[in-house]
């Protein structure tokens, strides 16, 4: 089973600041890494697919990078509505696995 480890677990950031969340895989997964946003009491929403591909309707301040074992989600110019939990997810091999999540708080 591929283990995904996110850091940090929690981050408190002021509006307009830049946020970086990392996801490390226990073995190479190529680019088969995706990012989701989950706001309180809502279902997850796909933000970035295949490490860096943007999703229609997702604000351009969200971007992703990385390959192999190390990946990054970047949120530029944070807005109040970005308060949520963020999860990475791999579809390189079964079982599909998720990172433990990063909770983002807006100061």
Partner 1 sequence: EVQLVESGGASVQPGGSLRLSCGGSGFPFNIYAMTWVRQAPGKGLEWVSSITAAATHTFYADSVRGRFTISRDNSNNTLSLHMNGLRAEDTAIYYCAKLDYGEGPFDFWGQGALVTVSS
Q: Using CB under 8 A, list all residues that contact partner 1.
A: 32, 34, 36, 38, 43-46, 49-50, 55, 87, 89, 91, 94-101
CB of 69 to partner 1, least distance (A): 18
The smaller minimum CB distance to partner 1, of residues 72 and 91, is found at: 91
The smaller minimum CB distance to partner 1, of residues 46 and 80, is found at: 46
**Strand 102-106 with 97-98, pairing:** unpaired
Q: Which of 81, 37, 30, 79 is nearest to 52 (CA)?
A: 30
* Share in percent of the chain as helix, strand, coil (round to 5): 5, 50, 45
Q: Which residues contact 9 (CB under 8 A, 6 or more apart)?
A: 100, 101, 102, 103
The smaller minimum CB distance to partner 1, of residues 44 and 68, is found at: 44
CB of 14 to partner 1, least distance (A): 26
The smaller minimum CB distance to partner 1, of residues 33 and 75, is found at: 33
CB of 31 to partner 1, least distance (A): 11
Both tokens of residue 94? Answer: 């079964």
CB of 15 to partner 1, least distance (A): 26
Both tokens of residue 33? Answer: 């890494």
């Amino acid at each position: 089973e591929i283990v995904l480890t996110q850091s940090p677990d929690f981050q408190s950031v002021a509006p307009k600041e830049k946020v970086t969340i990392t996801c490390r895989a226990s073995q190479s997964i190529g680019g088969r890494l995706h990012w989701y946003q989950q706001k309180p009491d809502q279902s997850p929403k796909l933000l970035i697919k295949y490490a860096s591909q943007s999703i229609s309707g997702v604000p351009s301040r969200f971007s992703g990078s990385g390959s192999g074992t190390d990946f990054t989600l970047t949120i530029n110019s944070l807005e109040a509505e970005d308060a949520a939990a963020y999860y990475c997810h791999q579809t390189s091999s079964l079982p599909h696995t998720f990172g433990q999540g990063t909770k983002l708080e807006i100061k």
